[in-house]
A and B are shown apart, each in its own frame.
Chain A
């Protein structure tokens, strides 16, 4: 698998009108551009809600959304549909925020009801009495993802996510809330169970984390990718790391003192 594929890479943006509230479409733009800049053919496929989901994309994106649209998206994707068959075939999924919640086993819907998720990741999301997690989120990746470097982004979610034995987190929270237990993000424990990555780093997470974008693309292409000029992203990362270090955490002040003490211990 060391020769780059010569066919077009198809990036499927799922339900942008339901799951696109935080500039989530940016991730699709970023993936397509990073392929094109390397001379690889790429196509952005916008998949509207209410239409048949194509099974032929190489990579699928699910973004953030509110309770009602989130529940609708989960209902349309089902527990054994085209997306599941694509994942079984080896397609990659990046699921962000509400997107991550719905690809798990269950998540809280709008009226407090527990909704059934897609079951692509072994995790459940629950409602707690903790305040909404809003603010900068900084993550040190677990050893398996060390190549990604520190992950940086913004989070804005009410639910807390618990991982089952078939899942592992992306990393540990340095600043922010993440899954709510000191971990952040969810992926499959075994690649044989699918190449599905979930994260609370919401919206255009790949803008701040080009290494994560390239890790997803390397899965698709089947080979490591040539480096690109990421001067702008490096400057953005440095500036955001500095902001977190200086305690300029924006909404992270929403965390309770209990939260902070528990984390410190």
Chain B
């Protein structure tokens, strides 16, 4: 692989850009405006628009993208690779170019970079970074956009991946839109990572026909577009490589979806050149991801905190819950970052919460309460997290919150574990 110049050999313009960015980041931290890394990265990119490509050229880079699970999978890939050496990463989810620039600026020369990339930015970042490995998780509608737009994103991925010659794409074989997108790439490692959300992929991206999903596979009913045979699968205890060894796959994070994310991380580590048997134990070190899966004491109960931002994310989070009858606090806001219209609540299969008490909270708790009533779920409303946990009245409570509600609660319980 071609290596670019080390930091000291960067053009003067780039070094000036980084210095300016660091300066403003320091000021931003001093003014208690957060880590300052995004604003610093923005300024640095304004001074040198080619900075991302120049910085990343000094590193083997793994890009991670998709609608859900980006931050978690980025952590898992980082943990897998750290078994073999140091890693740089934008672990707090700053997944647009300024956040990536800030992460790379902090990275010593030659360490492997694992970067989470917003799905809309992936085509551009692919072109600039020229990654060693790209990990593609899933594509579904976010709370703000519509399935038509999801398909457009799949098309832009496919075009961009088709223009990269020799890179490895590690892709989820269970998501038809991801398979369509990765189909543009010359070298794909397919991973049977699972998918719990099929609503946005019902129409075949190749021909417009209907895709038929069975529990283990899928295929178009009108053309030959079908699930590729995965090179990696999960037998429940082990990662199984076709024509390769079985490696114990132990994951501390809850849910089937996180076993799938861990399997993708293992395949990515293998593609970078780290032996699966070496990398796999690293996966167990991930117990919490930017506050997600955190346990905290709230109102005399042990609260486990799950984040879900959109219908697919809620479907996955419901799968992570402790079994009924453990009660659930569900929190919904509708600020700009959440999407101001909570109509998507009707796309979430809340019927799966039958058999337990669900306490609705957050600024749009009444929208959720109405949804729960029509789902025949035993429910109540509470006007604060603490009141909601008290209403549950059990030693252990699970929380699922959407984006701004989750951030508020994380501030309340403390951002550091």
Q: Report A's interface with B, CB cutoff 8 A.
A: 17, 21-26, 29-30, 33, 48, 50, 66, 68-69, 134-135, 154, 156, 202-204, 207-208, 232-233, 235-236, 239, 250-251
> Which of A48, A68, A135, A203 has the largest number of chain B CB atoms within 10 A?
A203
Q: Assess whether A69 is in contact with B345, with CB atoms less than 8 Å apart.
A: no
Asked if B302 is an interface residue, CB under 8 A from chain A, the answer is: no
Given contacts A22-B344, A23-B346, A233-B370, 4 further A-B contacts (CB under 8 A): A66-B146, A208-B370, A232-B372, A233-B373
The tally of residues in B whose CB lies under 8 Å from a CB in A reads 25
Q: Considering the complex, give the chain B residue whose CB is closest to the CB of A50.
A: B210
Q: Assess whether B343 is in contact with A22, with CB atoms less than 8 Å apart.
A: yes
Report how far A33 CA is from B372 CA in the complex, Å: 12
Beyond A17-B203, A30-B374, whether A239 also contacts B346 by CB under 8 A is no
Q: Considering the complex, give the chain A residue whose CB is closest to the CB of B200.
A: A17
Asked if B297 is an interface residue, CB under 8 A from chain A, the answer is: no
Task: Tell me the minimal C-beta distance from A206 to chain B in angstroms.
Answer: 10
Report how far A167 CA is from B369 CA in the complex, Å: 35
Q: Assess whether B347 is in contact with A236, with CB atoms less than 8 Å apart.
A: no
Task: Tell me the minimal C-beta distance from B64 to chain A in angstroms.
Answer: 27
Tell me the B114-140 residues at the A interface (CB within 8 Å).
none
Report how far A204 CA is from B343 CA in the complex, Å: 6
Q: Assess whether A22 is in contact with B370, with CB atoms less than 8 Å apart.
A: no
Asked if B148 is an interface residue, CB under 8 A from chain A, the answer is: yes
- Residue pairs across A and B with Cβ atoms less than 8 A apart, 30 shown, are A17-B203, A21-B141, A22-B341, A22-B343, A23-B344, A23-B346, A24-B346, A26-B343, A26-B345, A33-B374, A33-B376, A48-B210, A66-B146, A66-B148, A68-B148, A134-B340, A135-B340, A156-B341, A203-B343, A203-B346, A207-B367, A207-B370, A207-B374, A232-B366, A232-B370, A233-B373, A235-B381, A236-B367, A239-B366, A250-B341
Report how far A17 CA is from B372 CA in the complex, Å: 24
Asked if B371 is an interface residue, CB under 8 A from chain A, the answer is: yes
Report how far A236 CA is from B345 CA in the complex, Å: 14
Beyond A232-B373, A236-B370, whether A207 also contacts B346 by CB under 8 A is yes
Task: Tell me the minimal C-beta distance from A244 to chain B in angstroms.
Answer: 13
Q: Assess whether B343 is in contact with A202, with CB atoms less than 8 Å apart.
A: yes
Within 8 Å CB of A204, what residues of B? 343, 345-346
Asked if B147 is an interface residue, CB under 8 A from chain A, the answer is: yes
Asked if B111 is an interface residue, CB under 8 A from chain A, the answer is: no
Q: Considering the complex, give the chain A residue whose CB is closest to the CB of B344.
A: A23
Report how far A236 CA is from B347 CA in the complex, Å: 19
Q: Report B's interface with A, CB cutoff 8 A.
A: 141, 146-148, 202-203, 210, 334, 340-341, 343-347, 366-367, 369-374, 376, 381
Q: Assess whether A17 is in contact with B202, with CB atoms less than 8 Å apart.
A: yes
Within 8 Å CB of B371, what residues of A? 26, 207
Within 8 Å CB of A135, what residues of B? 340
Beyond A156-B341, A235-B366, A236-B369, whether A29 also contacts B148 by CB under 8 A is no
Task: Tell me the minimal C-beta distance from A214 to chain B in angstroms.
Answer: 14
Task: Tell me the minimal C-beta distance from B377 to chain A in angstroms.
Answer: 11
Q: Assess whether A232 is in contact with B369, with CB atoms less than 8 Å apart.
A: yes
- Which 8 interchain pairs have the tightest Cβ spacing? A26-B346, A23-B346, A203-B343, A236-B366, A23-B343, A22-B343, A232-B369, A250-B340
With contacts defined as CB atoms under 8 Å apart, how many contacts are there between chain A and chain B in the complex? 72
Within 8 Å CB of A208, what residues of B? 370
Report how far A30 CA is from B141 CA in the complex, Å: 23
Task: Tell me the minimal C-beta distance from A246 to chain B in angstroms.
Answer: 13
Report how far A51 CA is from B70 CA in the complex, Å: 37
Q: Assess whether A154 is in contact with B341, with CB atoms less than 8 Å apart.
A: yes
Within 8 Å CB of B334, what residues of A? 250
Within 8 Å CB of B340, what residues of A? 134-135, 154, 250-251
Within 8 Å CB of B366, what residues of A? 232, 235-236, 239
Q: Assess whether A154 is in contact with B343, with CB atoms less than 8 Å apart.
A: yes
Within 8 Å CB of A30, what residues of B? 374
Task: Tell me the minimal C-beta distance from A251 to chain B in angstroms.
Answer: 6
Within 8 Å CB of A232, what residues of B? 366, 369-370, 372-373, 381
Within 8 Å CB of A21, what residues of B? 141, 146-148
Report how far A95 CA is from B210 CA in the complex, Å: 25
Report how far A135 CA is from B367 CA in the complex, Å: 16
Task: Tell me the minimal C-beta distance from B381 to chain A in angstroms.
Answer: 7
Within 8 Å CB of B346, what residues of A? 23-26, 29, 203-204, 207
Task: Tell me the minimal C-beta distance from A216 to chain B in angstroms.
Answer: 16
Report how far A156 CA is from B145 CA in the complex, Å: 12
Q: Considering the complex, give the chain A residue whose CB is closest to the CB of B373.
A: A232
Within 8 Å CB of A17, what residues of B? 202-203
Within 8 Å CB of A202, what residues of B? 343
Report how far A10 CA is from B334 CA in the complex, Å: 34
Task: Tell me the minimal C-beta distance from A34 to chain B in angstroms.
Answer: 9
Within 8 Å CB of A68, what residues of B? 148
Checking A23, A24, A50, A251 against B345 with a beta-carbon cut-off of 8 angstroms, the contacting residue is A23
Report how far A235 CA is from B373 CA in the complex, Å: 13
Within 8 Å CB of B343, what residues of A? 22-23, 26, 154, 202-204
Q: Considering the complex, give the chain B residue whose CB is closest to the CB of A155.
A: B341
Report how far A48 CA is from B221 CA in the complex, Å: 14
Beyond A33-B374, A251-B340, whether A25 also contacts B369 by CB under 8 A is no
Report how far A135 CA is from B372 CA in the complex, Å: 24
Report how far A66 CA is from B149 CA in the complex, Å: 10
Beyond A17-B202, A236-B367, whether A23 also contacts B148 by CB under 8 A is no
Report how far A239 CA is from B414 CA in the complex, Å: 30
Q: Considering the complex, give the chain A residue whose CB is closest to the CB of B335.
A: A250
Q: Considering the complex, give the chain B residue whose CB is closest to the CB of A29.
A: B374
Task: Tell me the minimal C-beta distance from B344 to chain A in angstroms.
Answer: 5
Within 8 Å CB of A23, what residues of B? 343-347
Q: Considering the complex, give the chain B residue whose CB is closest to the CB of A210.
A: B370
Task: Tell me the minimal C-beta distance from B294 to chain A in angstroms.
Answer: 29
Report how far A21 CA is from B200 CA in the complex, Å: 10
Q: Considering the complex, give the chain A residue whose CB is closest to the CB of B202.
A: A17
Within 8 Å CB of A22, what residues of B? 341, 343-344
> Which of B146, B367, B370 has the largest number of chain A CB atoms within 10 A?
B370
Report how far A239 CA is from B366 CA in the complex, Å: 8
Within 8 Å CB of B202, what residues of A? 17
Within 8 Å CB of B203, what residues of A? 17
